[in-house]
């Protein structure tokens, strides 16, 4: 009815601007519309600059401070009180990140596979919800619980095991989510083809489902490593700190890690401690940049053969 | 993905694993437990395809079902881990905090003092709860500080994130838009303790010297704006904390908004363009309404992240216990920053009451962040099926 009426109605009065949306009124002048248009894009461009500025500023201020008092011996000597080097912290961070990668990787990928492939819908939705809620628990709360239970009640002391368990809980949701999303993007036809070939269930999973999902899962693992390297709050009261190089003893052996150096040494009044704090921050930034490069390489190698529809169209708001 | 050689290779694996097959001892038989199979590396190049593939009898079917069940159990155990961890964390907090909840009562939410009580006097027992003499805890300043700094951060971050996403999706050439994505990834990936260090050595002094005087001396002297006036401090306080938090949640909101904008159907925007709308009109009439729910969800998720942020805030807030800032330049503290700075000294309380109080504070923080997170996810799930990213990260 409305569609039939509109031609006759528009014959009397053609609106200059279609009255769609709350902000477009039919009688706004062209000049004002153009000014609005320009100011929207100018403000957006300023917003982009405001985002870019802190990135450059953070990198510049940290690198600037760290370069001033950088000694290569930082990489080779362990800390002595609030001076010395950071080799114990570098190795310790690597050990913690590695053990978190193994523990959280196995558990997270297995959980992601179960939720994506095997769980009935209601169960999957519950498990997914629990994982998402867990990701919202602040890291300091996990650190607190890790301290009062693992370190104190279980008598593990400040240790690699307590740190790994706490961080595993922290990064688990990221790996679960990444695995689940990656598996969800594998076409059903792959599974059907593998089933039709008579593969046993494991082989269907391994050959047809997991293999195409590897880039997505790898990205999730990289995110987990980045978090494990950079988190401070959950480690302060679970890993402790030690001037010695880390042993692989799981309990009763405090272990050094880089974020501790940034946080604690900055609060010390000595210039040598401040220098170590800046150096540790620089090393953390370098590790993060390295991980970003690795994840880019993973994504690029997997996407090389899959151009998107958006890439063909271009990104303009209006058609060419 | 499954190219010819891999198909034949896998088919061969299948036939070798079959009980009827003549070969034995090949990698990955059905007798192996699932974890071995999952971890099995790809084996050597495939020998030629046997004729007829793998035949299958009743025994194979049974074994197939058994292995399927074994794998489900194995994977299901790990799938229950996040839920179990969540339950364990909340249970541990509740058990630890229960006496503190009883003793502190409602005063915990309305009072401002943080008195651990006399550490060297004899402990007192009230209603069966042992605590130091004169222990009295009120978390109002922490709760207010947490909410204030995060809300202020959200107000700063959301418009900037939306503007950035609009430019990235609609104006920048692909190469530059990839570069901006990289910027956001770096910002999201920089550890919070490093951002805190930046806030201490660079941002704080800059705000104290340049930004704060500019605002404080030019804001009109009316009662509603008094929180913007007053002494500008030394760069550690509510404003610096909020800016640092805004920087930290920007990548989540901007990246999610960008991804949502890319999903807006071009039919709708093309139609709007054909009707003669300007870009601004298309954005306000078509694009932004389309992504609104997801954007609100992402913003609230960023809010949840800001509420729980610890290290950066502990470094730039001034971390003054019990401080209720009357202007945005004054020192304050948050629940998370208090937990991290007080846990050490709390363990000097022989009755353990200070630790229990921190558990109560943790519980309050968890309740706030979780309700915000759940609200964000419900909101997004109800309106759109867009999956939100899990928290912060590259």
Give percent above pLDDT 70 in chain B.
Answer: 81
Tokens for A276, please give them.
């170590």
Contact residues, chain A, for B182 at CB < 8 Å: 292, 296
Asked casually if ipTM beats, i.e. exceeds, 0.85, the reply is no
* Eight-state DSSP code of residue B319: -
Compare CB distances from A315 to B161, B169, B336 and report the shortest one's residue.
B169
- Most distant CA pair in chain B, distance: 92
**Residue B340 in contact with partner chain A when CB distance is under 8 A:** yes
Give percent above pLDDT 90 in chain B.
Answer: 21
Residue A305: exposure state from Cβ atoms within 10 A (0-12, 13-18, ≥19): exposed
Q: pLDDT tier at B51 (50, 70, 90 boundaries)? A: very low
Contact residues, chain B, for A140 at CB < 8 Å: 308, 310, 336, 339-340, 362, 365
pLDDT, mean over chain B: 78
Compare CB distances from B17 to A37, A200, A259 and report the shortest one's residue.
A200
Distance from CA of A259 to the nearest CA of B (A): 7
Distance from CA of A248 to the nearest CA of B (A): 24
List, for residues B117-169, the tens digit of each pLDDT value.
Answer: 776 777 777 777 777 777 788 888 899 999 999 999 999 999 999 999 999 99
Contact residues, chain B, for A20 at CB < 8 Å: 272, 275, 277, 285
- Most distant CA pair in chain A, distance: 88
Question: How many CB atoms lie under 10 A from the CB of residue B328?
Answer: 25
Compare CB distances from A190 to B2, B254, B273 and report the shortest one's residue.
B2
Best B162, B197, B248 member to test A by mutation, with max A CBs in 10 Å, is B197
Compare CB distances from A131 to B34, B82, B196 and report the shortest one's residue.
B82
Which pLDDT does position B32 carry in this prediction?
A: 39
Question: How many CB atoms lie under 10 A from the CB of residue A72?
Answer: 8
**For residues B53 and A95, which has the higher predicted lDDT (pLDDT)?**
A95
Q: pLDDT tier at B41 (50, 70, 90 boundaries)? A: very low
Across B100-124, b (16+ Cβ under 10 Å) vs e yields bbebbeeebeebeebebbeeeeebb
Q: Find the radius of gyration of the CA atoms of chain A.
A: 27
Three state DSSP letters for chain A: CHHHHHHHHHHHCCCCCCCCCCCCCCCCCHHHHHHHHHHHHHHHHHHHHHHHHHHHHHHHHHHHHHHHCCCHHHHCCCEECCEECCHHHHHHHHHHHHHHHHHHHHHHHHHHHHHHHHCCHHHHHHHHHHHHHHHHCCHHHHHHHHHHHHHHHCCCCCCHHHHHHHHHHHHHHHHHHHHHHHHHCCCHHHHHHHHHCCCCHHHHHHHHHHHHHHHHHHHHHHHHHHHHHHCCHHHHCCCCCCCCCCCCCCCCCCCCCHHHHHHHHHCCCCHHHHHHHHHHHHHHHHHHHHHHHHHHHHHHHHHCCCCCHHHHHCCCCCCC
Residue contact B308–A139, C-beta within 8 A: yes
B330 CB-near residues (< 8 Å, 6+ apart): B230, B233, B237, B238, B318, B323
Residue contact B10–A262, C-beta within 8 A: no
Contact residues, chain A, for B191 at CB < 8 Å: 229-232, 259, 262, 284, 288
**Residue B41 in contact with partner chain A when CB distance is under 8 A:** no
Contact residues, chain A, for B53 at CB < 8 Å: 197-198
List, for residues B56-109, the tens digit of each pLDDT value.
Answer: 445 667 777 787 888 888 889 999 999 999 999 999 999 999 888 888 888 888
Question: How many CB atoms lie under 10 A from the CB of residue A32?
Answer: 9
Q: What is the pTM of this model?
A: 0.82
Contact residues, chain B, for A135 at CB < 8 Å: 373, 390-391
B 44-83 residues with CB < 8 A to A: 53-54, 56, 64, 67-68, 71-72, 74-83
Residue B342: exposure state from Cβ atoms within 10 A (0-12, 13-18, ≥19): buried
**Cα-to-chain-centroid distance, residue A260:** 20
Residue contact B64–A200, C-beta within 8 A: yes
Which pLDDT does position B50 carry in this prediction?
A: 43
Which numeric CATH code is attached to A86-300?
1.10.3720.10
Contact residues, chain A, for B195 at CB < 8 Å: 58
Map out the domains of chain A as residue ranges: 86-300
Query: Which CATH superfamily is B138-383 part of?
Result: MetI-like (1.10.3720.10)
**Residue B125 in contact with partner chain A when CB distance is under 8 A:** no
Alpha helix ranges (H) inside chain B = 4-17, 34-39, 58-79, 81-104, 107-110, 140-170, 174-189, 192-198, 204-206, 212-218, 238-263, 266-274, 279-282, 288-308, 311-316, 335-346, 353-383
* Lowest-confidence pick of A15-19, B43-47, B183-187: B43-47
Residue contact A197–B37, C-beta within 8 A: no
Q: Please name the residue of chain A whose CA is at the shortest distance from the CA of residue B278.
A: A37
List, for residues B7-21, the tens digit of each pLDDT value.
Answer: 434 434 433 333 333
Phi and psi at residue A186, to the nearest 5°: -75, 125
Map out the domains of chain B as residue ranges: 86-136, 138-383
Q: pLDDT tier at B391 (50, 70, 90 boundaries)? A: very low
Q: Please name the residue of chain B whose CA is at the shortest distance from the CA of residue A278.
A: B197
Which pLDDT does position B13 carry in this prediction?
A: 40
**Residue B277 in contact with partner chain A when CB distance is under 8 A:** yes
Contact residues, chain B, for A51 at CB < 8 Å: 160-161, 164, 180, 183-184, 187, 250, 254
Residue contact B189–A291, C-beta within 8 A: yes
* Lowest-confidence pick of A59-63, A101-105, B219-223, B312-316: B219-223
Distance from CA of B283 to the nearest CA of A (A): 9
Contact residues, chain A, for B85 at CB < 8 Å: 134, 169, 172
Contact residues, chain A, for B307 at CB < 8 Å: 138
List, for residues B233-275, the tens digit of each pLDDT value.
Answer: 788 889 999 999 999 999 988 988 888 888 888 888 888 888 8
Q: Please name the residue of chain B whose CA is at the shortest distance from the CA of residue A167.
A: B85
Q: What does the pLDDT profile of chain A (320 residues) look like in tens digits?
A: 344 444 444 444 444 545 555 555 555 677 888 888 888 899 999 999 999 999 999 999 999 988 887 888 888 888 888 888 899 999 999 999 999 999 999 999 999 999 988 889 899 989 988 998 898 899 999 999 999 999 988 999 899 999 999 999 999 999 998 899 889 888 888 888 888 888 887 788 888 888 888 888 998 899 889 988 989 989 998 998 888 888 888 888 899 999 999 998 988 888 888 889 999 999 999 999 999 888 888 888 876 645 444 444 556 666 65
Which pLDDT does position A94 carry in this prediction?
A: 94
């Amino acid at each position: 009815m409305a569609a039939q009426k509109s031609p006759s109605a528009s014959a009397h009065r053609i609106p200059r601007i279609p009255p769609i949306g709350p902000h477009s009124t039919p009688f706004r002048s062209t000049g004002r519309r153009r000014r609005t248009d320009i100011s929207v894009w100018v403000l957006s461009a300023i917003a982009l600059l405001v985002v870019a500025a802190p990135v450059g500023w953070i990198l510049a201020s940290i690198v600037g401070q760290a370069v001033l008092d950088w000694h290569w011996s930082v990489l080779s000597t362990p800390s002595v009180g609030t001076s010395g080097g950071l080799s114990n912290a570098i190795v310790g961070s690597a050990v913690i990140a590695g053990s978190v990668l193994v523990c959280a990787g196995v558990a997270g990928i297995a959980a992601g596979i179960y939720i994506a492939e095997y769980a009935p819908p209601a169960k999957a939705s519950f498990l997914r919800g629990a994982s998402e809620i867990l990701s919202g628990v602040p890291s300091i709360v996990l650190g607190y619980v890790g301290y009062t239970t693992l370190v104190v009640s279980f008598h593990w002391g400040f240790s690699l095991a307590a740190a790994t368990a706490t961080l595993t809980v922290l990064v688990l949701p990221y790996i679960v989510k990444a695995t689940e999303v990656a598996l969800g993007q594998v076409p059903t036809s792959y599974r059907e083809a593998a089933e039709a070939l008579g593969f046993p269930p494991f082989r269907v999973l391994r050959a047809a489902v997991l293999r195409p999902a590897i880039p997505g899962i790898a990205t999730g693992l990289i995110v987990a490593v980045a978090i494990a390297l950079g988190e401070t709050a959950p480690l302060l009261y679970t890993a402790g700190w030690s001037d010695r190089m880390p042993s692989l003893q799981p309990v009763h052996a405090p272990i050094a890690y880089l974020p501790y150096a940034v946080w604690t040494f900055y609060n010390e009044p000595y210039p040598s401690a401040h220098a170590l704090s800046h150096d540790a921050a620089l090393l953390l930034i370098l590790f993060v940049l390295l991980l970003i490069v690795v994840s880019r390489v993973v994504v690029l190698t997997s996407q090389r053969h899959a151009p998107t529809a958006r890439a063909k169209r271009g990104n303009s708001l209006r058609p060419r | 993905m499954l190219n010819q050689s891999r198909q034949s290779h896998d088919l061969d694996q299948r036939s070798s694993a079959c009980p009827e097959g003549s070969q034995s001892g090949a990698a990955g038989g059905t007798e192996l437990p699932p974890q071995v199979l999952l971890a099995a590396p790809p084996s050597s190049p495939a020998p030629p395809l046997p004729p007829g593939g793998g035949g299958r009898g009743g025994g194979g079917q049974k074994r197939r079902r058994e292995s399927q069940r074994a794998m489900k159990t194995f994977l299901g155990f790990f799938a229950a881990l996040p839920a179990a961890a969540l339950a364990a964390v909340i249970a541990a907090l509740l058990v630890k905090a229960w006496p503190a909840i009883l003793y502190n009562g409602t005063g915990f939410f309305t009072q401002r003092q943080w008195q651990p009580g006399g550490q060297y006097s004899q402990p007192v027992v009230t209603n069966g709860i042992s605590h130091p003499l004169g222990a009295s805890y009120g978390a109002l300043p922490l709760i207010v500080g947490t909410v204030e700094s995060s809300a202020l951060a959200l107000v700063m971050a959301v418009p900037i994130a939306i503007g950035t996403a609009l430019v990235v999706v609609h104006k920048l050439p692909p190469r530059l838009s990839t570069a901006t994505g990289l910027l956001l990834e770096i910002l999201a990936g920089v550890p919070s303790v490093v951002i805190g260090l930046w806030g201490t050595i660079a941002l704080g002094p800059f705000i104290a010297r340049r930004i704060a005087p500019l605002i404080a001396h030019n804001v009109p002297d009316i009662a509603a704006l008094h929180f913007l006036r007053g002494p500008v401090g030394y760069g550690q306080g509510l404003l610096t904390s909020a800016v640092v938090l805004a920087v930290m949640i920007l990548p989540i909101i901007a990246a999610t908004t960008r991804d949502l904008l890319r999903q807006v159907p071009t039919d709708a925007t093309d139609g709007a363009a054909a009707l003669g709308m300007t870009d601004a009109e298309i954005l306000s009439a078509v694009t932004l309404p389309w992504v609104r729910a997801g954007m609100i969800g992402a913003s609230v998720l960023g809010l949840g992240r800001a509420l729980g942020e610890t290290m950066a805030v502990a470094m730039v807030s001034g971390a003054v216990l019990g401080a209720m800032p009357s202007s945005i330049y004054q020192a304050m503290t948050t629940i998370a920053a208090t937990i991290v700075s007080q846990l050490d000294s709390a363990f000097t309380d022989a009755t353990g009451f200070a630790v229990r109080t921190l558990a109560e504070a943790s519980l309050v923080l968890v309740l706030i962040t979780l309700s915000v997170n759940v609200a964000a996810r419900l909101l997004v799930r109800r309106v759109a099926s867009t999956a939100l990213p899990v928290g912060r990260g590259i």
